[in-house]
Amino acid sequence: MNQRSSILLLFSASLLAACNFPSKQTQPEPTKGHGSSDADKDVHSYSNPEQIKVRHLDLDLEVSFEKETLEGSATLTLEPPTESRKEPLMLDTHGLKITRVEAEQASGTFQPAPFTLGVPDKILGAPLTIQLPRYHGRVRIHYSSSPNAAALQWLTPAQTAGKKHPFLFSQSQAIYARTWIPLQDTPSVRITYDARIRVPRKLMAVMSAEGNFQLHPTKLGNKIGSVPGGLPILVGSMAQFSFRMTQPIPSYLIALAVGDLEFTQLGSRTGVYAEPPMAAKAAKEFEDTEKMLASTEKLYGPYRWGRYDLLVLPPSFPYGGMENPRLTFATPTIIAGDKSLVSLVAHELAHSWSGNLVTNATWSDFWLNEGFTNYVTQRIIEAVYGAERAAMEEVLESQELMELLKTLPEADQILHINLAGRNPEDGVTDIPYAKGATFLRHLEKAYGRGRFDAFLRGYFDHFAFQSIRTSDFVSYLNQHLLRSGGETGQPNVPVDEWIYKPGIPVSAPEPSSPVFSKVEQQAQRWINGQVPSSGLQTANWSYHEWQHFLRSLPTPLPKERMAQLDAAFHFSQSGNSEILHQWLLMAIRNDYSQAYPRLEEFLMSVGRRKFLKPLYAELVKTEAGRLRAVSIYRKARPGYHPIAIATLDEILTWDQK
């Protein structure tokens, strides 16, 4: 059932009040799981949660597409609200314009509070230091974001699918929440939040939270009954949406998107938001989401976030997906028409356990988020699509890891990576993802599925709604898996080597896929000239088989051979973004110029960093390629997300242009 959200309704004042969430916050559980010694400090935050903790955030923001700013206030509830503390409150900011800071007095009124903004660091931004009065309860910061905020992309109508309305979305992970909200921007701190967001009429706001509509569904009748994202009220010329997140989450999971969105229900707890021209295709592609949710619950216990919806973003979204709670943000490039790329949905859904429920306390512990999530993803794929597909995805991932290990510096091959002085994004490689998942598979194989499944489920329960370090996991592992039962002759998984050493232990399990062996035979026959392209037995090949086929081909490959493949299989025209990406990489490597118009078109229309980075990096390897890259980048750059631009500017040494 589809409902257009752009139909805005007017409400009487009384109903209007009922639709808004009360600003009273619920008390989150305290964060446990780690101590607060200096060694534990998150090196990517200026904040001082060991002295004062922010427990709740109340956001009140107006979205201006003209100024490309968010403007309003953030009210932070502090703990403890005490008279004994003397330390100032330190918050993270990056590029924020702070206009006024007020602190709550014992009387409940807000009075101006002295504050200073430190010298900005390129990676970390600037600390905001606020002197608190003797009694302090809440602190309110009036501010606006910069048009250059790294978390925010402001899209013109031309950059959207509908072409009629502008679009805004945020990407807070890893340390960009501070570019649109002043807060303790560290995953070791968990907060609840409320938000009121004012947007131009006709547009819809969604957040990683419960929309106001869900509180009073019966009052609104059936018409809007299928729009769980929030029903707006009119405030002046703007429409105001209200949200609340009552479960404590880390700051990197606070998310906002604004655009012309349509909601389609998928299952009783699942649905998809997309621009109207994308809505039907998206709903079809993601129709297994409810099944995935049920499968994950069966393995790892109840889903604790209420709804699980997806938001399909415009193609400039720099990531494949982002696990914002209750509302995964996703690139449209996974809509292939045949569900072949939906393991991304499984991945973001899996984060509802690994990452959002049990969270890495610092970015050095990032593998606790992504390695666990990749392991769980494969279990979901196996449950929903079968072991054969899961095995193929495992092999494809392991190939990428092995490639990466050939060139990655040893220090960056360590799961518990040292990121001091670096951007946490430097740690986002196949190491936390694929090496992390392989470590868990090693444990699974050594101790058996039954025991490992019970262990993992227990782990999620034990650390639910907590932010933990690698050492917390290791002690839990020692207690509940390695030493449980105390039998002799336990299988030997080199835990320390996995976590603290580069490379992959020799005893690591190696994935294999019988289906892929057949693909390799076909590829070999073609390479040897035993069979022409048209003679290859490729009937009913899935995306995975095609991908493996392409990766099995040698470099260099003569242009004529590329042309033969293209004529037989139309790779340059592929509607599958992963296949197209792989093919375009090969086109650059082999100077197969017939694919260059398609390459330019792809680079001009897609902003997913995972695709852009290897393509540009491949182009700049030759002088002719570098010139082509520069000319395309000049045109494409204004349409890319700030996060992608930062990466690509380096590859193209753009500063010097």
State the catalytic residues: 348, 433
**Cα 431–chain centre separation:** 17
- Piece in contact with ligand BES (CB under 6 A), picked from 238-246, 342-350, 408-416, 473-481: 342-350
DSSP assignment letter at 314: P
Residue type, 262: E
Among 518, 525, 551, 610, binds ligand BES (CB under 6 A): 610
Q: Rank residues 288 and 370 by Cβ distance to Zn ion and give the closer one.
A: 370
| Subset of residues 345 to 384 that bind Zn ion, contact rule: CB under 5 A | 370, 373
Residue 319 binds ligand BES, judged by CB under 6 A: yes
Token output for 139: 């602190």
257: nearest Cα among 245, 271, 277, 243: 243
| Region of 10-18, 110-118, 209-217, 313-321 interacting with ligand BES (CB under 6 A) | 313-321
Smallest separation, CB 265 to ligand BES (Å): 24
Residue 230 binds ligand BES (CB under 6 A): no
Q: Please state whether the peptide bond connecting residue 217 to the residue before it is cis, i.e. omega within 30 degrees of 0.
A: no
Measured from the CB atom, the residue of 262 and 323 that comes closer to ligand BES is: 323
Classified as helix, coil or strand, 511 is: coil
320 binds ligand BES (CB under 6 A): yes
**Contact criterion met (CB below 8 Å) for 310 and 229:** no
Q: Which is nearer to ligand BES, 240 or 582 (CB)?
A: 582
Stretch that binds ligand BES, among 137-145, 147-155, 341-349, 594-602 (CB under 6 A): 341-349
Shorter beta-carbon distance to ligand BES: residue 351 or 561: 351
Asked if 361 and 187 touch (Cβ cutoff 8 Å), the reply is yes
What are the tokens at 550?
A: 């392409």
Tell me the closest approach of the beta carbon of residue 292 to Zn ion, in angstroms: 15
For position 328 contacting ligand BES by CB under 6 A, the verdict is no
Angle, in degrees to the nearest 10, between helices 609-619 and 577-589: 10
Least Å from the CB of residue 109 to ligand BES: 40
Q: Site size for Zn ion, by CB under 5 A?
A: 2
Examine residue 250 and tell whether it contacts ligand BES (CB under 6 A). Answer: no
| Length of the chain counted residue by residue | 657
Q: Which residues pair with 84 in a beta bridge?
A: none
Residue 212 sits at the vertex; the CA angle it makes with 211 and 213, to the nearest 5 degrees, is: 95
- Give φ, ψ of 7 to 5 degrees: -80, 105
380 Cβ partners below 8 Å, 6+ apart? 292, 295, 296, 299, 346, 349, 350
Amino acid, res. 12 = S
Q: Which does 320 bind (CB under 5 to 8 A by kind): ligand BES, Zn ion, none?
A: ligand BES
CB of 423 to ligand BES, least distance (A): 10
* Alpha carbons 20 and 17: distance in angstroms, whole number: 5
Write the interaction track for ligand BES spanning residues 361-380; mark x where CB under 6 A is met and - where it is not. ---------x----------
Residues 122-181 interacting with ligand BES (rule: CB under 6 A): 173-174
- Residues in contact with Zn ion by CB under 5 A are 370, 373
- Residues in contact with ligand BES by CB under 6 A are 173-174, 319-323, 344, 347-348, 351, 370, 425, 428, 610
